[in-house]
Amino acid sequence: MNMKTLTRKSLISLILCLLLLALVPLSSIRAENSSISTHARAAALIDVESGRLLYSSRGDEPMLIASLTKIMTALVAIENGNLTSKVKVGKNAFAKEGSSLYLKQGEEMTLEDMLYGLMLRSGNDAATAIAEHVGGSEQGFVYLMNAKAEALNLTHTHFANPHGLDAEGHYSSANDLAVLTAYAMHNPVFKEIVATKEKTADNPYEKWDYKWSNKNKMLRLYEGADGVKTGYTKKALRCLVSSATRNGQQLVAVTLNDGNDWNDHSALLDFGFNHYPLKTLVERGEAVSGYSLVTGKDFAYPLGQGEEARLITKLVLSEEKSAGVADARGNSGTGASSSANASSFGLKGVIIMQLGGKEIGRVPVYTPSQLPPETSAYEKKYSPAGGTAYPADNWLQAFGSALRALFQSGEDQR
Protein backbone atom coordinates (compact mmCIF):
# COMPACT_ATOMS: atom_id res chain seq x y z
CA MET A 1 0.00 0.00 0.00
CA ASN A 2 1.55 3.29 -1.10
CA MET A 3 1.33 6.67 0.64
CA LYS A 4 -1.24 8.06 -1.83
CA THR A 5 -3.65 5.20 -1.11
CA LEU A 6 -3.23 5.66 2.61
CA THR A 7 -3.84 9.39 2.36
CA ARG A 8 -6.95 8.86 0.23
CA LYS A 9 -8.38 6.35 2.71
CA SER A 10 -7.65 8.66 5.62
CA LEU A 11 -9.47 11.51 3.88
CA ILE A 12 -12.49 9.31 3.16
CA SER A 13 -12.55 8.16 6.79
CA LEU A 14 -12.44 11.74 7.99
CA ILE A 15 -15.35 12.72 5.73
CA LEU A 16 -17.40 9.73 6.94
CA CYS A 17 -16.73 10.67 10.56
CA LEU A 18 -17.91 14.22 9.94
CA LEU A 19 -21.06 12.96 8.22
CA LEU A 20 -21.81 10.65 11.13
CA LEU A 21 -21.25 13.51 13.55
CA ALA A 22 -23.73 15.62 11.62
CA LEU A 23 -26.36 12.92 12.11
CA VAL A 24 -25.87 12.71 15.88
CA PRO A 25 -28.76 14.47 17.66
CA LEU A 26 -27.75 17.54 19.63
CA SER A 27 -29.44 16.04 22.67
CA SER A 28 -26.91 13.21 22.59
CA ILE A 29 -24.01 15.64 22.35
CA ARG A 30 -25.39 17.67 25.26
CA ALA A 31 -25.72 14.52 27.34
CA GLU A 32 -21.98 13.94 27.01
CA ASN A 33 -20.86 17.54 27.51
CA SER A 34 -21.60 20.11 30.19
CA SER A 35 -21.48 23.06 27.79
CA ILE A 36 -23.85 24.36 25.15
CA SER A 37 -23.80 26.99 22.43
CA THR A 38 -26.35 29.21 20.67
CA HIS A 39 -26.50 31.42 17.59
CA ALA A 40 -26.95 34.50 19.78
CA ARG A 41 -24.46 37.31 20.21
CA ALA A 42 -25.23 37.09 23.94
CA ALA A 43 -27.18 34.57 26.02
CA ALA A 44 -27.95 33.62 29.61
CA LEU A 45 -29.89 30.99 31.55
CA ILE A 46 -31.02 31.42 35.17
CA ASP A 47 -32.89 29.42 37.79
CA VAL A 48 -35.78 31.55 39.05
CA GLU A 49 -35.99 30.21 42.61
CA SER A 50 -32.32 30.62 43.52
CA GLY A 51 -31.15 33.23 41.05
CA ARG A 52 -28.24 30.98 40.07
CA LEU A 53 -26.85 31.75 36.65
CA LEU A 54 -26.53 28.39 34.90
CA TYR A 55 -25.12 29.57 31.57
CA SER A 56 -23.75 32.82 30.19
CA SER A 57 -22.13 33.81 26.91
CA ARG A 58 -21.12 37.49 26.67
CA GLY A 59 -23.61 37.87 29.46
CA ASP A 60 -22.38 41.25 30.74
CA GLU A 61 -22.05 42.92 27.34
CA PRO A 62 -24.40 45.95 27.06
CA MET A 63 -26.56 45.57 23.98
CA LEU A 64 -29.73 46.87 22.33
CA ILE A 65 -32.70 44.92 23.70
CA ALA A 66 -35.71 46.12 21.67
CA SER A 67 -39.06 45.22 23.25
CA LEU A 68 -37.48 43.16 26.02
CA THR A 69 -37.53 46.61 27.62
CA LYS A 70 -41.21 46.02 28.31
CA ILE A 71 -40.37 43.45 30.97
CA MET A 72 -39.20 46.34 33.14
CA THR A 73 -42.08 48.55 31.93
CA ALA A 74 -44.66 45.98 33.04
CA LEU A 75 -42.92 45.33 36.35
CA VAL A 76 -42.65 49.01 37.30
CA ALA A 77 -46.27 49.63 36.28
CA ILE A 78 -47.53 46.69 38.35
CA GLU A 79 -45.51 47.72 41.40
CA ASN A 80 -46.41 51.41 41.22
CA GLY A 81 -49.82 51.55 39.54
CA ASN A 82 -53.45 50.66 40.26
CA LEU A 83 -54.51 47.83 37.96
CA THR A 84 -58.15 48.95 37.94
CA SER A 85 -57.35 52.58 37.11
CA LYS A 86 -58.16 53.92 33.66
CA VAL A 87 -55.23 54.73 31.37
CA LYS A 88 -55.99 57.47 28.86
CA VAL A 89 -54.22 57.43 25.50
CA GLY A 90 -52.54 60.79 24.93
CA LYS A 91 -51.08 62.34 21.78
CA ASN A 92 -47.61 60.94 22.49
CA ALA A 93 -48.93 57.39 22.70
CA PHE A 94 -51.33 57.63 19.75
CA ALA A 95 -49.91 56.10 16.54
CA LYS A 96 -46.53 55.42 18.15
CA GLU A 97 -44.14 53.92 15.62
CA GLY A 98 -43.40 50.21 15.62
CA SER A 99 -45.63 47.43 16.96
CA SER A 100 -48.96 48.78 18.15
CA LEU A 101 -52.35 48.00 19.68
CA TYR A 102 -53.77 50.74 17.41
CA LEU A 103 -55.28 52.61 20.31
CA LYS A 104 -57.22 55.78 19.58
CA GLN A 105 -56.27 59.14 21.04
CA GLY A 106 -58.44 59.81 24.08
CA GLU A 107 -59.32 56.11 24.44
CA GLU A 108 -59.37 54.75 27.98
CA MET A 109 -58.54 51.23 29.12
CA THR A 110 -57.78 49.69 32.50
CA LEU A 111 -54.11 49.45 33.36
CA GLU A 112 -54.47 45.68 33.71
CA ASP A 113 -55.87 45.23 30.19
CA MET A 114 -53.26 47.58 28.74
CA LEU A 115 -50.51 45.51 30.38
CA TYR A 116 -51.82 42.46 28.57
CA GLY A 117 -51.68 44.36 25.28
CA LEU A 118 -48.17 45.53 26.17
CA MET A 119 -46.78 42.05 26.83
CA LEU A 120 -48.79 39.92 24.39
CA ARG A 121 -48.77 42.22 21.36
CA SER A 122 -45.80 44.42 22.31
CA GLY A 123 -47.78 47.63 21.83
CA ASN A 124 -45.49 50.68 21.80
CA ASP A 125 -48.55 52.90 22.09
CA ALA A 126 -49.52 50.98 25.24
CA ALA A 127 -45.99 51.36 26.65
CA THR A 128 -46.10 55.14 26.25
CA ALA A 129 -49.64 55.45 27.64
CA ILE A 130 -48.73 53.30 30.65
CA ALA A 131 -45.59 55.34 31.29
CA GLU A 132 -47.45 58.64 31.24
CA HIS A 133 -50.21 57.26 33.46
CA VAL A 134 -47.98 55.69 36.13
CA GLY A 135 -45.00 58.05 35.99
CA GLY A 136 -46.78 61.32 35.26
CA SER A 137 -44.69 61.58 32.10
CA GLU A 138 -42.54 59.27 30.01
CA GLN A 139 -39.42 60.81 31.57
CA GLY A 140 -40.82 60.30 35.07
CA PHE A 141 -41.54 56.66 34.34
CA VAL A 142 -38.07 56.09 32.88
CA TYR A 143 -36.67 57.44 36.14
CA LEU A 144 -38.63 54.72 37.97
CA MET A 145 -37.30 52.10 35.55
CA ASN A 146 -33.70 53.08 36.18
CA ALA A 147 -34.28 53.28 39.93
CA LYS A 148 -35.59 49.70 39.84
CA ALA A 149 -32.61 48.60 37.77
CA GLU A 150 -30.29 50.10 40.37
CA ALA A 151 -32.20 48.44 43.23
CA LEU A 152 -31.78 45.06 41.51
CA ASN A 153 -28.06 45.72 40.93
CA LEU A 154 -28.41 45.61 37.14
CA THR A 155 -25.06 47.26 36.52
CA HIS A 156 -25.09 46.85 32.74
CA THR A 157 -28.56 48.31 32.19
CA HIS A 158 -29.91 51.79 31.48
CA PHE A 159 -33.27 52.81 30.06
CA ALA A 160 -34.13 55.82 27.90
CA ASN A 161 -37.76 54.91 27.08
CA PRO A 162 -40.49 52.42 28.10
CA HIS A 163 -40.96 50.69 24.73
CA GLY A 164 -37.48 49.68 23.53
CA LEU A 165 -37.15 51.58 20.27
CA ASP A 166 -33.43 52.08 19.65
CA ALA A 167 -32.11 55.14 21.49
CA GLU A 168 -28.82 56.42 22.84
CA GLY A 169 -28.29 55.34 26.42
CA HIS A 170 -30.83 52.51 26.16
CA TYR A 171 -29.31 49.08 26.72
CA SER A 172 -29.08 46.01 28.91
CA SER A 173 -27.22 42.69 29.00
CA ALA A 174 -28.25 39.04 28.86
CA ASN A 175 -27.29 38.48 32.50
CA ASP A 176 -29.15 41.58 33.70
CA LEU A 177 -32.28 40.60 31.78
CA ALA A 178 -32.11 37.13 33.30
CA VAL A 179 -31.87 38.59 36.81
CA LEU A 180 -34.66 41.09 36.13
CA THR A 181 -37.00 38.43 34.76
CA ALA A 182 -36.25 35.98 37.59
CA TYR A 183 -37.29 38.71 40.02
CA ALA A 184 -40.38 39.66 38.00
CA MET A 185 -41.59 36.06 37.79
CA HIS A 186 -42.18 36.12 41.55
CA ASN A 187 -44.84 38.80 40.99
CA PRO A 188 -48.14 36.89 40.52
CA VAL A 189 -49.66 39.54 38.23
CA PHE A 190 -46.62 39.66 35.95
CA LYS A 191 -46.37 35.88 35.94
CA GLU A 192 -50.00 35.45 34.91
CA ILE A 193 -49.81 38.04 32.13
CA VAL A 194 -46.70 36.65 30.40
CA ALA A 195 -48.06 33.09 30.51
CA THR A 196 -51.32 34.07 28.77
CA LYS A 197 -51.69 32.80 25.20
CA GLU A 198 -54.77 34.85 24.31
CA LYS A 199 -56.57 37.74 25.95
CA THR A 200 -59.87 39.45 25.24
CA ALA A 201 -60.28 43.04 26.45
CA ASP A 202 -63.32 45.31 26.42
CA ASN A 203 -63.50 47.88 23.62
CA PRO A 204 -66.27 50.39 24.33
CA TYR A 205 -65.48 52.38 21.18
CA GLU A 206 -66.23 49.64 18.66
CA LYS A 207 -68.73 46.80 18.16
CA TRP A 208 -65.91 44.30 18.61
CA ASP A 209 -63.65 43.59 21.59
CA TYR A 210 -59.89 43.49 21.50
CA LYS A 211 -58.49 39.97 21.11
CA TRP A 212 -54.75 39.58 21.47
CA SER A 213 -52.71 36.47 20.68
CA ASN A 214 -49.31 36.24 22.34
CA LYS A 215 -46.38 36.71 19.92
CA ASN A 216 -44.21 34.44 22.07
CA LYS A 217 -44.38 31.15 20.18
CA MET A 218 -42.43 29.36 22.89
CA LEU A 219 -45.75 29.11 24.74
CA ARG A 220 -46.91 26.75 22.01
CA LEU A 221 -43.61 25.16 21.00
CA TYR A 222 -42.09 24.12 24.33
CA GLU A 223 -43.60 21.87 26.99
CA GLY A 224 -44.01 23.79 30.25
CA ALA A 225 -43.35 27.21 28.69
CA ASP A 226 -44.89 30.08 30.68
CA GLY A 227 -43.39 33.34 29.36
CA VAL A 228 -41.96 35.86 28.65
CA LYS A 229 -41.30 38.40 25.82
CA THR A 230 -40.13 38.78 22.21
CA GLY A 231 -38.33 41.76 20.73
CA TYR A 232 -37.07 43.06 17.40
CA THR A 233 -35.69 46.21 15.82
CA LYS A 234 -33.50 46.57 12.75
CA LYS A 235 -30.46 47.26 14.93
CA ALA A 236 -31.17 44.95 17.88
CA LEU A 237 -32.40 42.14 15.60
CA ARG A 238 -34.21 39.18 17.17
CA CYS A 239 -34.29 39.17 20.98
CA LEU A 240 -36.14 36.76 23.23
CA VAL A 241 -36.69 36.01 26.91
CA SER A 242 -38.48 32.73 27.58
CA SER A 243 -39.40 30.80 30.70
CA ALA A 244 -40.58 27.29 31.45
CA THR A 245 -41.49 25.21 34.49
CA ARG A 246 -40.93 21.49 34.88
CA ASN A 247 -41.01 19.36 38.04
CA GLY A 248 -41.41 22.46 40.20
CA GLN A 249 -38.38 24.21 38.71
CA GLN A 250 -38.68 27.38 36.67
CA LEU A 251 -35.93 28.57 34.33
CA VAL A 252 -35.52 31.77 32.31
CA ALA A 253 -33.50 31.89 29.08
CA VAL A 254 -32.30 35.07 27.34
CA THR A 255 -30.85 35.55 23.84
CA LEU A 256 -29.89 38.82 22.15
CA ASN A 257 -29.35 39.09 18.40
CA ASP A 258 -30.22 35.48 17.63
CA GLY A 259 -31.52 34.38 14.23
CA ASN A 260 -32.47 30.91 15.51
CA ASP A 261 -33.94 31.83 18.87
CA TRP A 262 -36.88 29.41 19.10
CA ASN A 263 -34.57 26.41 18.72
CA ASP A 264 -31.82 27.91 20.86
CA HIS A 265 -34.23 28.55 23.73
CA SER A 266 -35.50 24.99 23.61
CA ALA A 267 -31.90 23.80 23.82
CA LEU A 268 -31.02 26.18 26.66
CA LEU A 269 -34.03 25.20 28.74
CA ASP A 270 -33.42 21.48 28.11
CA PHE A 271 -29.81 21.98 29.20
CA GLY A 272 -30.86 23.60 32.46
CA PHE A 273 -33.51 21.06 33.36
CA ASN A 274 -31.30 18.10 32.47
CA HIS A 275 -28.04 19.23 34.08
CA TYR A 276 -29.15 21.46 36.99
CA PRO A 277 -32.36 20.15 38.57
CA LEU A 278 -33.67 22.10 41.57
CA LYS A 279 -32.94 20.33 44.86
CA THR A 280 -34.72 21.15 48.13
CA LEU A 281 -31.98 21.34 50.75
CA VAL A 282 -33.92 22.76 53.72
CA GLU A 283 -37.63 22.76 54.54
CA ARG A 284 -39.28 25.42 56.70
CA GLY A 285 -39.85 24.22 60.27
CA GLU A 286 -37.20 21.51 60.00
CA ALA A 287 -35.44 20.72 63.29
CA VAL A 288 -31.79 21.77 63.59
CA SER A 289 -29.78 18.76 64.74
CA GLY A 290 -28.43 19.16 68.27
CA TYR A 291 -30.41 22.34 69.05
CA SER A 292 -33.95 23.28 70.10
CA LEU A 293 -34.28 25.30 66.91
CA VAL A 294 -36.16 25.12 63.61
CA THR A 295 -35.49 26.56 60.16
CA GLY A 296 -37.39 29.66 59.12
CA LYS A 297 -37.82 29.03 55.40
CA ASP A 298 -37.44 26.55 52.57
CA PHE A 299 -34.20 26.61 50.63
CA ALA A 300 -33.76 25.02 47.23
CA TYR A 301 -30.86 25.26 44.80
CA PRO A 302 -30.10 23.85 41.34
CA LEU A 303 -27.21 21.42 41.57
CA GLY A 304 -25.08 19.82 38.89
CA GLN A 305 -23.69 16.31 39.04
CA GLY A 306 -21.55 15.82 42.14
CA GLU A 307 -22.24 19.26 43.61
CA GLU A 308 -24.48 18.15 46.46
CA ALA A 309 -21.60 16.21 48.02
CA ARG A 310 -19.54 19.42 48.09
CA LEU A 311 -22.13 21.49 49.94
CA ILE A 312 -21.06 22.96 53.28
CA THR A 313 -23.59 24.22 55.87
CA LYS A 314 -22.53 26.40 58.80
CA LEU A 315 -24.75 27.18 61.76
CA VAL A 316 -23.93 30.59 63.24
CA LEU A 317 -25.75 31.40 66.49
CA SER A 318 -26.42 35.01 67.41
CA GLU A 319 -26.41 34.66 71.18
CA GLU A 320 -23.02 33.02 71.55
CA LYS A 321 -19.45 34.01 70.83
CA SER A 322 -19.05 30.77 68.94
CA ALA A 323 -21.32 28.02 67.77
CA GLY A 324 -21.05 24.49 66.53
CA VAL A 325 -20.69 24.23 62.79
CA ALA A 326 -21.85 21.22 60.82
CA ASP A 327 -21.14 20.57 57.18
CA ALA A 328 -23.26 18.52 54.80
CA ARG A 329 -21.63 15.33 56.05
CA GLY A 330 -22.18 16.13 59.76
CA ASN A 331 -18.58 17.13 60.57
CA SER A 332 -18.28 19.77 63.28
CA GLY A 333 -16.27 22.99 63.43
CA THR A 334 -16.51 26.53 64.81
CA GLY A 335 -18.59 29.50 63.77
CA ALA A 336 -18.74 33.24 64.41
CA SER A 337 -21.22 35.53 66.13
CA SER A 338 -23.88 37.34 64.13
CA SER A 339 -26.71 39.92 64.07
CA ALA A 340 -27.09 42.32 66.99
CA ASN A 341 -30.88 42.38 66.84
CA ALA A 342 -31.32 38.63 66.36
CA SER A 343 -33.72 38.32 69.27
CA SER A 344 -36.65 39.69 67.21
CA PHE A 345 -39.24 37.00 66.44
CA GLY A 346 -37.12 34.50 68.35
CA LEU A 347 -34.37 34.61 65.71
CA LYS A 348 -31.41 32.69 67.11
CA GLY A 349 -29.03 32.57 64.19
CA VAL A 350 -28.56 31.53 60.59
CA ILE A 351 -27.50 28.52 58.56
CA ILE A 352 -25.05 29.59 55.87
CA MET A 353 -24.97 27.43 52.72
CA GLN A 354 -21.72 27.28 50.75
CA LEU A 355 -20.70 25.65 47.49
CA GLY A 356 -17.18 25.78 46.13
CA GLY A 357 -16.13 28.20 48.85
CA LYS A 358 -18.89 30.70 47.94
CA GLU A 359 -22.03 31.47 49.87
CA ILE A 360 -25.17 30.46 47.97
CA GLY A 361 -27.82 31.27 50.58
CA ARG A 362 -28.85 31.73 54.21
CA VAL A 363 -31.62 30.14 56.24
CA PRO A 364 -32.64 31.81 59.53
CA VAL A 365 -33.25 29.61 62.58
CA TYR A 366 -35.76 30.28 65.38
CA THR A 367 -37.09 28.85 68.58
CA PRO A 368 -40.08 26.66 67.61
CA SER A 369 -42.60 28.75 69.57
CA GLN A 370 -41.51 31.99 67.88
CA LEU A 371 -41.33 30.97 64.24
CA PRO A 372 -42.65 34.02 62.30
CA PRO A 373 -45.16 33.87 59.42
CA GLU A 374 -43.84 33.04 55.98
CA THR A 375 -42.71 35.98 53.85
CA SER A 376 -43.05 36.26 50.10
CA ALA A 377 -40.05 35.38 47.96
CA TYR A 378 -41.05 38.28 45.70
CA GLU A 379 -38.93 40.74 47.67
CA LYS A 380 -35.85 38.65 47.00
CA LYS A 381 -33.06 40.59 45.30
CA TYR A 382 -31.22 38.58 42.68
CA SER A 383 -27.65 39.08 41.55
CA PRO A 384 -25.67 36.98 39.05
CA ALA A 385 -22.40 37.75 40.86
CA GLY A 386 -22.45 34.52 42.85
CA GLY A 387 -23.64 32.36 39.98
CA THR A 388 -21.52 30.03 37.90
CA ALA A 389 -21.48 30.76 34.18
CA TYR A 390 -20.61 28.04 31.67
CA PRO A 391 -19.09 29.48 28.46
CA ALA A 392 -19.95 28.19 25.01
CA ASP A 393 -16.51 26.91 24.07
CA ASN A 394 -17.05 23.37 22.82
CA TRP A 395 -16.41 23.05 19.10
CA LEU A 396 -18.58 19.94 18.82
CA GLN A 397 -21.55 21.89 20.15
CA ALA A 398 -20.86 24.76 17.76
CA PHE A 399 -20.52 22.37 14.81
CA GLY A 400 -23.75 20.55 15.58
CA SER A 401 -25.58 23.82 16.17
CA ALA A 402 -24.44 25.18 12.82
CA LEU A 403 -25.61 22.03 11.05
CA ARG A 404 -29.02 22.28 12.66
CA ALA A 405 -29.31 25.90 11.58
CA LEU A 406 -28.48 24.87 8.02
CA PHE A 407 -31.41 22.47 7.76
CA GLN A 408 -33.94 24.18 10.02
CA SER A 409 -35.27 27.66 9.35
CA GLY A 410 -36.27 29.92 12.22
CA GLU A 411 -39.61 31.73 12.19
CA ASP A 412 -39.27 35.51 11.97
CA GLN A 413 -42.81 36.52 12.83
CA ARG A 414 -42.89 38.38 16.15
Q: Which residues are catalytic?
A: 67, 70, 122
Would you put residue 380 in left (φ > 0), alpha (ψ -120 to 50) or beta? Answer: beta
Between CA 330 and CA 188 the distance in angstroms is 38
Q: Which residues pair with 249 in a beta bridge?
A: 246
